[in-house]
A and B are shown apart, each in its own frame.
Chain A
């Protein structure tokens, strides 16, 4: 407002076109570009060291582009759009595209790396101890935090006293003097490594047993926490037949490059494969494989019901409360309002976990309070009712707030006029208030629907998909597509990243259709208002 007043009272000046912010603006720009240059320089060094030339080129081009953009007077819209867009491209769009491309591969446990990785894994996994093989004194160390850092084996060859450090990537000999060895041959300290104490090593026993250090003829494995042996690979890659040959039996598994696996003549297939493109296989599996498509269709329908019921239920409840409190004759409205929105202020992740415990069959509050004995998360219907109830509780204060605001924006004269025309309160609500409210709240309802459609926390933190049918432990009655996807990708029964990515793409298509429809609506509205 002050701008308008100043203009009216100020002496008339010749109107000037938009200009740049003058000397001060210039200075500010340069001051802001300084840190950009510093960050770019900081980011460049590791790239330079490791020889990532393409990434370095992208970084240089991006930095130069930023400098050009903010030092030139042109491209004003881009000046405002670029900062957010940069983050969007790097941390949102790139992962999304990467995910989409994963949907066309067989990327999964056992199909992670390339063929060479698979061969190394097969060879090291088949290592067995042969009589008379070399035995080493073992010290377990790490290059990071003793509890979580990556493990290394420091092995001392008792014959030569030489110390080597081994990881899953291979073995390298440490230069003499870098490691301190005690009389028993154990390494007590080594440059760049933290030696684990007995307790720390014991706590990570399974990781230590699982660590295999590939060597030229086989691999080094641990035996207990203080000794290691070098064994021979029972299976080896034979380049001539492009196959894996088992030394003891002479059996072969031939590489199949379209499936990314080594397969024997009788159809037996080795667990370790590599990543290849499989075209639309993941998508066709989703639609045609009866073991997958049946549960998937049920999940999709429940997902839609869940989103609709959560959004619609919170809206009806919130609107009802807002209407009840929307009267100037009522006392204590402020207090009611403050207390009603308290659930909205509570941390939802924690309250979801609290609700999970309130539905506990044995000592849950719900059963105790109402004298029930319901196994809430044991039956499909009760579990579904329970999760929707929780969503109502979490979501309706927001709708209440929004509806309260929207009600206040509707002129009181309208409902008074309808009252004079002889309308009952119900009629005036149906015909006057509600249509106006819906115009205002539709965009919020759509975005609330989209949010609930992918409401991961709501399911993961309460039922975690339960109850599960006995014949399908991957897909529970309350699972949403998103929790189902998460289980496919990170679940206990082996990660299926490729397939999970296909489901993600599927979800994206559904939500995109919904949002394009909503976009049409907002476009019409924008034309009305602007």
Chain B
């Protein structure tokens, strides 16, 4: 009885939470393995198993294209946006200049206006860009990446600035005394120390981009240029019941890059999330 009041109930809570967390995922796994591959035939416990859905997905649909597009777009824009916001966070955290406060506030405000609210304006703008510079226009990864970078400053600058503030200023002051330029201080001293928050921001940006549906849906209309959300949405938009197995197989494959990133960065992510949170 005493065991239950100290430890046992904890296992109870954890098991209930696990059931809640896992049953949709088990359902997806079961549907992905289900040889029939339809929604109506899928149950939580798989009846029979085959990789038919996976092979159909990889050979009959442009899924591999979508996958590569998504990983490329999300990877490049996550890396670039982390870099851009780290630069800005450095300025906001370490340098004092006129307009610093208003700048921070403006950043927060603009960021609060979700980019896709302006989707009509973005569409019209990129119609012109596509005419003038096709390589960064509609149906090109680079155009979408540039567009996503518009939100780079807002996304994580605040989180990073909070973390930068916790790194003792004496470190970079002493580097400056030793004759390091501000660029050397930033790249050699500060960046290595804030690696956890870079990891967190990078992963958040990666997850956010890989799930972005609305803008990509307007932007990418060529089958081969689509990203995973756009392509897979099309997969179940019309033939919802019969493509369900393939869709779930695709879901599992889509999770792979995220899980990998997450596993590699797990320790840094937990520290980063907390420290960033504490220092807001």
Contact = CB atoms under 8 A, between A and B. Distances in A.
Most chain A CB neighbours (cut-off 10 Å) among B153, B165, B250: B153
B118 A87 contact: no
A88 B39 contact: no
Contacts of A324: 9-10, 13-14, 17
B61 interface: no
Interface in A362-413: 362-363, 365, 368-369, 393, 397, 401-402, 404-406, 408-409
Contact of A336 (B18, B262, B270): B18
A68 B25 CA distance: 54
B24 A358 contact: yes
A220 B116 CA distance: 38
Interface stretch (A117-125, A242-250, A500-508): A500-508
Contact of B13 (A50, A320, A511): A320
Contacts of B13: 320-321, 324
Interface string B196-226: 0000000000010011011000000110000
A178 B207 CA distance: 51
B120 A3 contact: no
- Chain A interface residue count: which class? 35 or more
Given A325-B10, A440-B277, A489 B175 contact: no
A95 B118 contact: yes
Nearest to A510: B112
Contacts of B146: 87, 91
Judged by DSSP, the binding face of B is: helix
A504 B166 CA distance: 37
Contacts of B42: 365
B18 A21 contact: no
A46 B133 contact: yes
Given A330-B10, A336-B18, A91 B105 contact: no
Contacts of B43: 365, 368
Contacts of B1: none
B257 to A, nearest CB: 9
Contacts of B251: 346-347, 350-351, 354
Given A345-B255, A457-B211, A482-B114, A401 B273 contact: yes
B228 interface: yes
B242 interface: no
B59 interface: no
6 contacts: A3-B171, A10-B178, A46-B132, A80-B88, A93-B110, A96-B113
Q: 10 tightest CB-CB pairs across the interface, nearest first?
A: A91-B150, A405-B274, A95-B118, A443-B280, A98-B121, A21-B181, A80-B91, A324-B13, A84-B84, A95-B121
Interface of B: 6-7, 9-11, 13-14, 17-18, 20-22, 24-25, 27-28, 39-40, 42-44, 84-85, 87-88, 90-91, 95, 97, 100, 103-105, 107-110, 112-122, 124-125, 132-133, 146-147, 149-154, 157-158, 162, 165-166, 170-171, 174-179, 181-184, 186, 189, 207, 210-211, 213-214, 221-222, 228-229, 232-233, 236, 240, 244, 247-248, 250-251, 254-255, 258-259, 262, 269-271, 273-275, 277-280
Given A4-B171, A87-B152, 14 more contacts: A16-B177, A81-B87, A91-B122, A92-B115, A98-B121, A321-B13, A347-B254, A362-B40, A402-B273, A404-B270, A440-B278, A454-B117, A457-B214, A525-B280
